[in-house]
């Protein structure tokens, strides 16, 4: 159950964001903008420039679509706070990125489990202007939509360790492209520099078999050699990889057993 509810979208596609929500958006932007300049990959930063998000108010969906649609054919789709796997994959398969139209409260400024409007827009939409990332996400949606329900947990891990928590090499530097990281100040710093965190070269079989939790700082990240690797991934027979991973089984989780009930 969510404590949040998406705000209504009127017949003109507008959301009536309040002054308080505009102020929260402003403060979130101020805090994250300086961090992403040094931590995000170039593809994300050029996407953010293209989006040209307002700082002093919450953007409207149409403003984002005006950039995404002519660039990669993607659009944002307003949804309820929580949606089913089925609906999620269906939207991605049609190049529609689900965006819940609610913003976190001040009480949860630093940390919330549910993806809010700031996470979806600031975290993800910049990368959706990149053709390789956009293509991968589209193919991923198509596969997920057609996949047997019992195999979807494997696909969820692929999404988690790429779109949400992916790292990428850029020259001799490590950068972030995952939206779950880039919309969280603590995780943006921890992902690149925290001690005791594993950062492994991306390997599809390893990723599909690595459990994760949604409510902790990630103990492991996977690193692409470049964003083009996502395009190469989309050309693989990913469902064959999923079936192989299902036969191989999961790796032991990198978090304690008593926390295991949140694992996916």
Query: In the complex, which residues of this chain contact Fe ion (CB under 5 A)?
Result: 115, 179
Least separation in angstroms between residue 34's CB and Fe ion is: 22
Decide if 39 is catalytic.
Answer: no
Least separation in angstroms between residue 13's CB and Fe ion is: 22
Catalytic residue among 164, 170, 184, 187: 164
Least separation in angstroms between residue 35's CB and Fe ion is: 17
Decide if 26 is catalytic.
Answer: no
Least separation in angstroms between residue 129's CB and Fe ion is: 16
Decide if 183 is catalytic.
Answer: yes
CA 54 to chain centroid: 20
d(CA 261, CA 210): 15
For Fe ion, the closer of residues 165 and 202 by Cβ is 165
Alpha helices in 77-178 (DSSP H): 85-93, 117-118, 131-146, 152-159
HSE-up (13 A, CA, CB side) for residue 77: 17
5 is in an annotated binding site: no
Best CA proximity match to 100, nearest among 87, 110, 114: 114
Decide if 124 is catalytic.
Answer: yes
164 is in an annotated binding site: yes
Catalytic residue among 124, 135, 138, 145: 124
**Residue whose structure tokens are 């850029």:** 170
d(CA 46, CA 29): 16
Catalytic residue among 6, 183, 184, 234: 183
For Fe ion, the closer of residues 114 and 243 by Cβ is 114
145 is in an annotated binding site: no
3, with CB counted inside 10 A (0-12, 13-18, 19+), is exposed
For Fe ion, the closer of residues 115 and 141 by Cβ is 115
For Fe ion, the closer of residues 128 and 224 by Cβ is 128
d(CA 48, CA 121): 10
What are the residue numbers of the active site?
Answer: 119, 124, 164, 183
Known binding-site residue numbers for Fe cation: 119, 124, 164
């Amino acid at each position: 159950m969510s404590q949040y509810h998406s705000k209504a979208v009127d017949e003109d596609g507008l959301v009536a964001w309040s002054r308080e929500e505009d102020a929260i958006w402003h403060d979130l932007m101020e805090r994250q903008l300086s961090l992403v300049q040094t931590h995000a990959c170039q593809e994300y930063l050029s996407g953010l420039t293209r989006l040209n998000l307002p700082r002093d108010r919450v953007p409207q969906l149409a403003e984002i679509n005006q950039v995404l649609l002519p660039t990669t054919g993607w659009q944002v789709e307003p949804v309820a706070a929580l949606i089913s796997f089925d609906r999620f994959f269906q939207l991605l398969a049609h190049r529609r990125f689900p965006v819940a139209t609610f913003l976190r409260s001040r009480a949860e400024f630093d940390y919330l489990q549910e993806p809010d409007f700031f996470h979806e827009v600031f975290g993800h939409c910049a990368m959706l202007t990149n053709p390789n990332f956009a293509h991968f996400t589209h193919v991923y949606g198509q596969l997920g939509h057609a996949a047997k329900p019992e195999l979807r947990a494997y696909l969820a891990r692929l999404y988690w360790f790429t779109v949400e928590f992916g790292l990428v090499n850029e020259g001799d530097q490590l950068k972030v492209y995952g939206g779950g990281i880039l919309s969280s100040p603590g995780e943006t710093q921890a992902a690149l520099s925290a001690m005791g965190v594993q950062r492994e070269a991306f390997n599809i079989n390893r990723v599909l078999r690595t459990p994760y939790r949604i409510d902790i700082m990630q103990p492991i990240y996977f690193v692409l050699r470049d964003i083009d690797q996502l395009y190469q991934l989309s050309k693989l027979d990913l469902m064959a990889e999923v079936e192989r991973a299902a036969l191989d089984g999961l790796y032991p989780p990198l978090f304690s057993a008593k926390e295991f009930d949140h694992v996916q």
